[in-house]
Amino acid sequence: MGTDEDPAAENALGGFLRARRAQLRPEATGLPTSGRRRVPGLRREEVATLAGVSTDYYMRLEQGRERHPSQQVLEAVARALRLDDEAVAHLYRVATPTARRTRRAPRVERVAPHLRRLLDNWPDTPAFVLGPALDVLTHNALAAALHSGFERFDNLARMVFLDPAGRGFYRDWERAANSCVAEIRAAYGYDPDFPRIAEVVDTLGSKSPEFAELWARHEVKGKTQQAKNLAHPEAGALEIQFSAFTVNGAPHQQLVVYQAEPASATEAAFAELRSRADRPAPGHNAAPMPA
């Protein structure tokens, strides 16, 4: 992967601005569209005009030569690029010099014992805990049974992009792929120094052109409560609602819970899977995806 897309790359702000500028069409901003355009999306000078800054200043932002933009400038650039709330928050994070960050993620992620016990006490609901790089840090037996068609239940991004089972399991694979990349990108914005994110992105970027292409788009989105359509190789089609909760005391860990509508076919499928998961999976902590 090129350095512009590498999480360890120094100019995270410039990479973000270039990617979002390339995705914004002139007609969406009211700019004229006549004439031949040599670049996709907006030109630098067009973003500068929309933001009310000089072209030279905006170029310095993209090139990493301006490292201390004011809040007013960031707000103006966010408006010019039509960023949504999550993208605006990400813009502020990547515009903050690393030296000013006070938190560092631990190199070894652990799940509190009481949280593990909580998951085990939910026999009817698949539940698992994710780290910022989408590593599966712990899970209950039903979650393991739900993902039994995969080679390993270890990292959701690896499972989506590299495991052959992923394209069948996720009935809307493109949506799942976009979500995985956007969630890792959001986590990177919170802590670009976390080495595990760099490991996962480097591995997937070198093995999956689709991941590399999506990573270069710099789209940002955290997990939200929404529907998900899955297909288990034995239990069949599943329609679930999932919710994600932050874990107190463990920055950027998420507790993910899958639920089925009462008296639905999915609830019956969960019961069938539960009957096959009458003993705990061997070990709670899945081995991390190799770098």
Q: Which residue, of 49, 77, 100, is where some domain finishes? A: 100
Average confidence score pLDDT of the chain: 85
11/16: higher pLDDT: 16
CATH number where 118 lies = 3.30.450.180
4/13: higher pLDDT: 13
Closest alpha carbon to 152 in 68, 144, 71, 174: 144
- 178: tokens are 């976009």
- pLDDT band at residue 4 using 50, 70 and 90 as cut-offs: very low
Show the DSSP H helices in the chain as ranges: 12-23, 44-51, 55-63, 71-80, 85-94, 113-120, 141-146, 156-161, 166-169, 173-190, 195-207, 209-215, 265-276
Residue 289: inside a domain, yes or no?
no
- pLDDT band at residue 8 using 50, 70 and 90 as cut-offs: very low
Residue 88: inside a domain, yes or no?
yes
What is the DSSP code (8-state) at residue 30? T
Report how far residue 224's alpha carbon sits from residue 243's, in angstroms, rounded to the nearest whole number.
7
**Are 219 and 84 within one domain?**
no
Q: In what order do the strands lie in the sheet with 254-259?
A: 136-139, 127-130, 254-259, 236-246, 226-232
**Are 170 and 227 within one domain?**
yes
**Are 183 and 262 within one domain?**
yes
Which amino acid is residue 221, in one-letter code? K
Q: Give me the pLDDT at residue 24, please.
A: 87
Q: Give me the pLDDT at residue 174, please.
A: 96
The predicted model gives 40-47 an average pLDDT of 87
DSSP-based three-state secondary structure for 232? strand
Residue range(s) defining the domain that contains residue 36: 3-100
* Number of domains making up the chain: 2
Residue 282: inside a domain, yes or no?
no
Report how far residue 30's alpha carbon sits from residue 53's, in angstroms, rounded to the nearest whole number.
18
**Are 149 and 244 within one domain?**
yes
CATH number where 75 lies = 1.10.260.40
**Are 119 and 96 within one domain?**
no
Residue 285: inside a domain, yes or no?
no
User: What are phi and psi for residue 242, nearest 5 degrees?
Assistant: -120, 150
The predicted model gives 179-201 an average pLDDT of 89
| pLDDT exceeds 60 at position 193 | yes
The predicted model gives 23-34 an average pLDDT of 77
**Are 119 and 93 within one domain?**
no
